């Protein structure tokens, strides 16, 4: 006569299908096996997912670049590819604990925003994030091009743009407006490539280091100016103040200084 079966699994399997214990145990086993399979798939697929995310990021950066007049040609001449990094704006350095993947979560925390006093708030933002994602092109150890996201208030609402600077951190390589609410036929012309084409070659600062950039009311008359838009003076002023704020000490100023010193 065979002795009792001490294998707990076989004992459970031998129970009638109507047994509550058998149902609970089988459900647990199925869940455990599925969890193990999912975990294993995650480990196996992680390198593929990482590569896909990197490819998607490069594609997104490339799309941004294509929207900036002359930028594709600049990158082609310079060689290399753009990289992205999150900047701690106050320090002008790469953020220690915030990455492109975690930036949105970081900025969801009100503690990661800085309130701007009226005298500081040239762009009319009220506050600015403590971190910003930028894009760099390097030529060896030197930064040859940097793409900086900007935002500010125009006549109809917020204006978002990407400003490209050459390696001297003073010459504009291009600008593209990515979002705005300006008046059709007037301020909305800031999205036209014909207007944005006046930015390349414009210098931000004079010999003393003071920011002199401005959108003129009419045709540009100096190296620090770009053409104005007829009937859209307030839109032009908004773009002027946006650029001056973000290139100043409360925006990317510390980063620009670090790049100019060869420290980034």
Please indicate, yes or no, whether residues 79 and 195 belong to a single structural domain of this protein: yes
User: Do 116 and 182 belong to one domain?
Assistant: yes
Q: Which tokens hold the place of 49?
A: 């997912």
Span 39-85, pLDDT tens digits: 777 777 666 665 565 556 556 566 656 655 555 665 666 555 678 89
pLDDT level of residue 125 (50, 70, 90 thresholds):
very high
- pLDDT tens digits for 150-187? 999 988 888 888 898 988 899 998 888 888 888 887 88
Q: Is the pLDDT of residue 88 over 80?
A: yes
Q: Indicate whether 150 belongs to any domain.
A: yes
Residue 75, SS3 per DSSP: helix
Average pLDDT for residues 84-93, to the nearest whole number? 92
3-state secondary structure of 183: coil
Same structural domain for residues 214 and 236? yes
pTM score, whole prediction? 0.72
Domain that holds residue 171: 67-260
Say yes or no: 45 and 132 in one domain.
no
User: Which 8-state DSSP code applies to residue 218?
Assistant: S
Q: What is the pLDDT of residue 66?
A: 62
* More reliable by pLDDT, 51 or 246: 246
- Token representation of residue 138: 């390097």
Other Cβ atoms within 10 Å of 16 Cβ, number: 6
- Number of structural domains (the chain) is 2
> What is the model's pLDDT at position 116?
94
Please indicate, yes or no, if residue 87 is contained in any of the structural domains. yes
In a domain, 2, yes or no: no
Is there a domain that residue 239 lies in? Answer: yes
Residue 62 lies in a domain: no
User: Is 54 in contact with 71 (CB distance < 8 Å)?
Assistant: no
* Whole-number percent of the chain with pLDDT over 70: 81
Residue that is last in its domain, among 57, 77, 96: 57
- Same domain? 15 vs 72: no
217/235 Cα distance (integer angstroms): 10
CA 170 to CA 260: how far, in whole Å? 9
Other Cβ atoms within 10 Å of 84 Cβ, number = 15
**What does each C-alpha distance from 210 to 18, 35, 143, 204, 205 come to in angstroms?**
83, 60, 22, 8, 5
């Amino acid at each position: 006569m065979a002795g009792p079966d001490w294998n707990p699994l076989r004992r459970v399997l031998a129970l009638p299908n109507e047994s509550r214990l058998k149902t609970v145990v089988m459900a647990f086993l199925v869940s455990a096996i599925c969890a193990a399979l999912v975990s294993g798939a995650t480990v196996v697929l992680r390198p593929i997912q990482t590569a896909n995310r990197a490819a998607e990021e490069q594609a997104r950066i490339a799309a941004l670049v294509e929207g900036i007049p002359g930028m594709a040609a600049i990158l082609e001449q310079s060689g290399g590819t753009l990289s992205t990094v999150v900047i701690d704006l106050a320090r002008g350095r790469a953020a220690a604990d915030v990455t492109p993947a975690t930036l949105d979560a970081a900025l969801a925390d009100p503690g990661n925003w800085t309130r701007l006093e009226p005298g500081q708030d040239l762009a009319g933002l009220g506050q600015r994030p403590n971190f910003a994602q930028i894009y760099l092109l390097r030529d060896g150890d030197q930064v040859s091009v940097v793409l900086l996201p900007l935002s500010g208030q125009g006549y109809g609402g917020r204006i978002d743009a990407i400003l490209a600077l050459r390696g001297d951190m003073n010459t504009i390589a291009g600008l593209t407006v990515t979002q705005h609410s300006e008046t059709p036929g007037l301020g909305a012309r800031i999205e036209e490539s014909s207007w944005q084409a006046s930015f390349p070659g414009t210098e931000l600062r004079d010999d003393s280091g003071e920011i002199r950039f401005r959108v003129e009311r009419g045709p540009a008359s100096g190296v620090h100016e770009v053409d104005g838009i007829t009937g859209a003076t307030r839109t032009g002023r908004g773009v002027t103040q946006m650029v001056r704020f973000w290139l100043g000490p409360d925006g990317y100023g510390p980063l620009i200084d670090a790049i100019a010193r060869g420290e980034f």
